[in-house]
Amino acid sequence: MIWLLTIAIQAVCVIDVIRNGRNQLWIMALIFLPVASTIA
């Protein structure tokens, strides 16, 4: 259940990165460091 919530939060953050035109390195950070990058 927690892993599903984590994946959902990651998806929302990736969409936010793409929509706002931020640095694409954030997508890599979201994939490999999900908890730390969503907090940042």
pTM over 0.75, yes/no: no
pLDDT 10s digits, 1-40: 888 888 888 889 889 999 998 888 888 888 888 777 667 6
Place of tokens 């979201």: 30
37 CB contacts (<8 Å, ≥6 apart)? 13, 26, 29, 30
Rounded CA-CA distance 30/40 in Å is 10
> What pLDDT does 38 receive?
66
